[in-house]
Chain A
Amino acid sequence: AQTVTQSQPEMSVQEAETVTLSCTYDTSESNYYLFWYKQPPSRQMILVIRQEAYKQQNATENRFSVNFQKAAKSFSLKISDSQLGDTAMYFCAFNSNYQLIWGAGTKLIIKP
């Protein structure tokens, strides 16, 4: 079975600090995609970053970057220079076809 595990239910950091959210997954597939989505209190699920498993280079989107370790099946999200607007639930998700398999989420709180 394909699973996604986020081991940090909640994290809290000061504004401007760097924070890393962990995600591990389990699959027998060789080609797949990994995603980080952000869900603020508005409930809108927003794509933060995506990584294609066949690409060795880690994806980067402005202050957001990933550390993708395919052999270890690890896909962590690093947020640099954190901002108050980054406060949200963060979900790691995996898919190899059209179904997204989701982790339980990490609640990230950015303190002023």
Chain B
Amino acid sequence: GAGVSQSPSNKVTEKGKDVELRCDPISGHTALYWYRQSLGQGLEFLIYFQGNSAPDKSGLPSDRFSAERTGGSVSTLTIQRTQQEDSAVYLCASSPKTGLTLVETQYFGPGTRLLVL
């Protein structure tokens, strides 16, 4: 079956422009996560969606960052007025909600590499 997909694979933009990053989770997965990975670093949690519940936005670094998940499936991460420090790889993950374990394994997409010039 298809895994998590993300688009675009790479994005180069100019400082001050807005960008939209897209994530298609695995079909049937109710949970969706966005992470940011700066060069040589581990992953930084950004936002979490679970079904129809209010998302956990506690990891968003500023109000320039926002995310939506329409119809409980596809998600879009939007960065407004991009800054050079926003340059990173943005990873999306999804997980099922089986109820069998406390924590479900997260399955990752290939990421979007964002470069802000």
Nearest chain A residue, comparing its CB with the CB of B89: A43
Distance in angstroms from A83 CB to nearest chain B CB is 22
| A33-B106 in contact given A91-B42, A98-B48, A104-B42 (Cβ < 8 Å) | no
* B102: A residues at CB distance < 8 A: 31, 33, 96
Nearest chain A residue, comparing its CB with the CB of B95: A98
Interface string of A83-112 (1 = CB under 8 A from B): 000000001010111111111110000000
Interface residues of B in 24-62 (CB under 8 A from A): 31, 33, 35, 40-45, 48, 50, 56, 59
State whether A33 touches B107 (Cβ < 8 A).
no
State whether B110 touches A44 (Cβ < 8 A).
yes
State whether A42 touches B43 (Cβ < 8 A).
no
Q: A residues touching B (Cβ–Cβ < 8 Å)? A: 4, 31-33, 35, 37, 42-47, 50, 52, 91, 93, 95-105
State whether B103 touches A47 (Cβ < 8 A).
no
Distance in angstroms from A63 CB to nearest chain B CB is 19
* B65: A residues at CB distance < 8 A: none
Distance in angstroms from A92 CB to nearest chain B CB is 9
Nearest chain A residue, comparing its CB with the CB of B41: A104
Which of A33, A46, A91 touches B103 (beta carbons < 8 Å)?
Answer: A33
State whether A98 touches B43 (Cβ < 8 A).
no
| A47-B31 in contact given A91-B43, A99-B45 (Cβ < 8 Å) | no
Which of A46, A96, A97, A102 touches B43 (beta carbons < 8 Å)?
Answer: A102
Chain A to chain B contacts (Cβ below 8 Å), 18 pairs? A4-B42, A31-B102, A33-B101, A33-B102, A43-B89, A44-B111, A45-B93, A46-B108, A47-B105, A91-B42, A91-B43, A97-B103, A98-B56, A100-B33, A100-B35, A102-B42, A103-B42, A105-B42
Distance in angstroms from B111 CB to nearest chain A CB is 5
